[in-house]
Amino acid sequence: MGDKLKSQIEYSENINRFLSTLEIDELIRRYSTPLYVIDENTLHRKVKELRDAYSSFKGKTEIAYSIKANFNPSIIVALMKDDIMFDLTAIEELYFYQRCKGDLKRIIYTTVAEEYEEYLHVLKNGVERVVISSYNGLLNLIDAARTIDVKPKTLIRINPEVGVKASIKASYRDGKFGVPLYTNTADNAMHILEHIIREENLQFDGFHFHLGSQITDPTCFINALAKLDQFITKAKDTYDIKVNTLDIGGGTPIFYGETVPTPSTIASSMIDKLNNMSYRHGITNLIVESGRYITAESMIMLSKVVNVKEYNNDKFAILDAGYHLLLDAALLKQQYPQEVIRYDKGKSNKNIHLAGRLCDTYDIFPKSKISKLDDVDINSYIVFYNVGAYSIVFNMPFHCQTKPAVVMKDSNGNLRLVRKEQKIEDLFMEEGGELL
Ligand SMILES: Cc1ncc(COP(=O)(O)O)c(C=O)c1O
């Protein structure tokens, strides 16, 4: 059985098998299923791959982990070892980061809400670099900075309004995120820049954009940089500014079912432009944010087949998991690669479908091109690969389902529980049971 599994894996380059069959058996015995497992080594490897990709940038490159992708405290702590920055979006994320003893100087804080109380809290707690996304947000940041007399480094989040090929697009005309370069209203980059420069309590630091997640074509980066370059050139005609930092956001894709560009392909498509802008505008810091690329491949989910039903040409395997554990399978039709393990019946002459345990039409797991779905039966197990980003953070109690345990395989190869399984009694009480 072990050899069979091994040979299946060796044929597929794009799934990251970091557990031996023995380890899987041991984990299932100890924690049952569904179960998530994180591999610490993969986290460090992914950071290195991103760093290496941008190594020919002539200034300093910082990788910033977007903790929205997976805020498991053990992941945050593991990534601190890589001396990276952290991209935070909410004061609740800041709470997690502080509880993990994160260095506040290593934060870039980009909020969508931009409330005065939020900025006050963030600045009081020692965050030094903030990204502004609206004129009202700027006024709130100024008020907060004046109230406690600090001078945060301030970046402007622009919406370059470029076309993006991605699973999730964040830059489009009249969009929610950032401000356009030019408008007739107060919400434009030039107007905000002018205010930041005039404000005693802010230090202008640079520009940020985030174009989307799972970006499959790097052209959008080149187009966004071209627009920003023109804008900076124009701004320098009027204002005496120095752009220290350029933050190109996240979006580096990972393999689910389609071939995607690697970080080095994406980086090399824009590195000349980045170096040219760095030279002409004095940009010394490049920030590359990433959530998905750093965590997705670091995590698998183990699930058990609890029922099967067969029709003429199809066989359905009902799992003990569902989209309450892998929401993007339903929401984005994300094709997490899957594999049948611990069952040795070989190929099936039927089409195998993996369905979740929820009483919901959308609870069917799309198959990746590299899924290894041999025959299945009750008590076979399914491994879902590349589930480390934007899935566990959406765990929800639909059908009163509890959150499964999470185990981490650390860099020394030790398997350690990093999140306990939620108990049904705890869920009942949280949902209002304690108020009965
Ligand atoms: C501002 C910002 N930066 C970075 C990211 C991370 O994107 P990804 O996980 O695709 O790298 C996001 C994701 O939504 C984001 O909103």
- Does 59 map to a domain? no
Tell me: do 123 and 246 sit in the same domain.
Answer: yes
Is 133 near ligand 1, meaning CB less than 6 Å away? no
- Give the pLDDT of residue 296: 97
Rounded Cα–Cα distance for residues 321 and 387 (Å): 13
For residue range 141-175, list pLDDT tens digits in order: 999 999 999 999 999 999 999 999 999 999 888 88
Confidence tier at 4 by pLDDT (50, 70, 90): very low
- Write down which residue in 268, 290, 312 finishes a domain: 290
326 CA → ligand 1 middle, Å:
18
For the segment 310-314, the average pLDDT, to the nearest whole number, is 95
Q: Which two tokens stand for residue 339?
A: 């594999």
C-beta of residue 386 within 8 angstroms of C-beta of residue 255: yes
Task: Tell which atom from ligand 1 comes closest to the C-alpha of 291.
Answer: 9
Cβ-contact 417, 98 below 8 angstroms: no
Same domain, residue pair 285 and 385: no
Q: Is the CB of 249 under 6 A from ligand 1?
A: yes
- From ligand 1's centre to the CA of 393, what distance in Å? 14
pLDDT in tens, 227-251: 999 999 999 999 999 999 999 999 9
> Which of 270, 290, 310 is at the close of a domain?
290
Which residue, by CA, sits nearest to atom 1 of ligand 1? Answer: 210
pLDDT of residue 257: 84
In the 8-state DSSP scheme, what is residue 372?
Answer: B
pLDDT of amino acid 13: 52
Contact assessment for residue 35 and residue 28, using Cβ atoms and an 8 Å cutoff: yes
Mean pLDDT for 187-215 is 97
Q: What is the pLDDT of residue 346?
A: 82
pLDDT in tens, 15-73: 788 999 899 999 999 999 999 999 999 999 999 999 999 999 999 999 999 999 999 99
Residues 312 and 420 in one domain: yes
pLDDT at 146: 98
**Across all residues in the chain, what is the average pLDDT?**
94
Tell me: do 211 and 227 sit in the same domain.
yes
Q: How far is the CA of 262 from the centre of ligand 1 (A)?
A: 17
pLDDT digits (tens, 9 = 90+) for 284-300: 999 999 999 999 999 99
Does residue 111 line the site of ligand 1, with CB under 6 A?
no
Distance 321 CA to ligand 1 centre (A): 27
**Residue 211 Cα, ligand 1 centroid: separation in angstroms?**
8
Closest residue by Cα to atom 5, ligand 1, is 250
Q: How far apart are CA 375 and CA 344, in angstroms?
A: 8
Residue 104, strand partner residues: none
Which of residues 240, 268, 290 is at a domain's end? Answer: 290
Mean pLDDT of 206-222: 97
pLDDT at res. 259:
86
87 within ligand 1 shell (Cβ under 6 A): yes
Strand 299-310 relative to strand 314-319: parallel, antiparallel, unpaired? antiparallel
**Whole-number Å distance between alpha carbons of 315 and 264:** 41
The reply to whether 83 falls in a domain is no
Domain co-membership, 111 together with 251: yes
Q: What percent of the chain has a predicted confidence (pLDDT) above 70?
A: 97
Percent of the chain with pLDDT strictly greater than 90: 89
Range of the domain at 27: 2-39+297-435
Inside any domain, residue 78: no
Tell me if 92 is assigned to some domain.
no
Number of domains in the chain: 2
Question: Same structural domain for residues 323 and 190?
Answer: no
150 and 246 share one domain? yes
Q: Are residues 286 and 347 in the same domain?
A: no
Q: Kindly state whether residues 137 and 274 are assigned to the same domain.
A: yes
Tens of pLDDT, residue by residue over 128-142, are: 999 999 999 999 999
Q: Residue 266 has what pLDDT?
A: 96
| Residue 371 in contact with ligand 1 by CB distance below 6 A | no
Residue 273 has pLDDT above 90, yes or no: yes
What is the mean pLDDT of the segment spanning 3-12?
39
Q: For residue 70, which of 51, 87, 49, 48 has the smallest C-alpha distance? A: 87
Give the integer Cα–Cα distance in Å for 210 and 199.
25
Residues 129 and 272 in one domain: yes
Does residue 231 fall inside a structural domain? yes
pLDDT, position 258: 84
Q: Determine, yes or no, domain membership for 69.
A: no
Residues 272, 345 within the same domain: no
pLDDT confidence tier of residue 218, bands split at 50, 70 and 90: very high
- 429 shares a domain with 308: yes
Residue whose CA lies nearest to ligand 1 atom number 16: 210
Terminal-residue alpha carbon distance, the chain: 51
CA of 397 to the centre of ligand 1 (A): 25
**Ligand 1 in contact with 94 (CB < 6 A)?**
no
Q: How much is the pLDDT for 174?
A: 84
**Ligand 1 centroid to residue 116 C-alpha, Å:** 23
What's the predicted TM-score (pTM) here? 0.95
Give the pLDDT score at 11: 36
289 lines ligand 1 (CB under 6 A): yes
Q: Name which of 430, 377, 287, 342 is nearest 23 in CA terms.
A: 342
Render pLDDT for 335-384 as a digit per residue (tens, 0 to 9): 999 999 877 778 888 999 999 999 999 999 999 888 888 899 999 999 99
Residue found under tokens 């899987």: 24
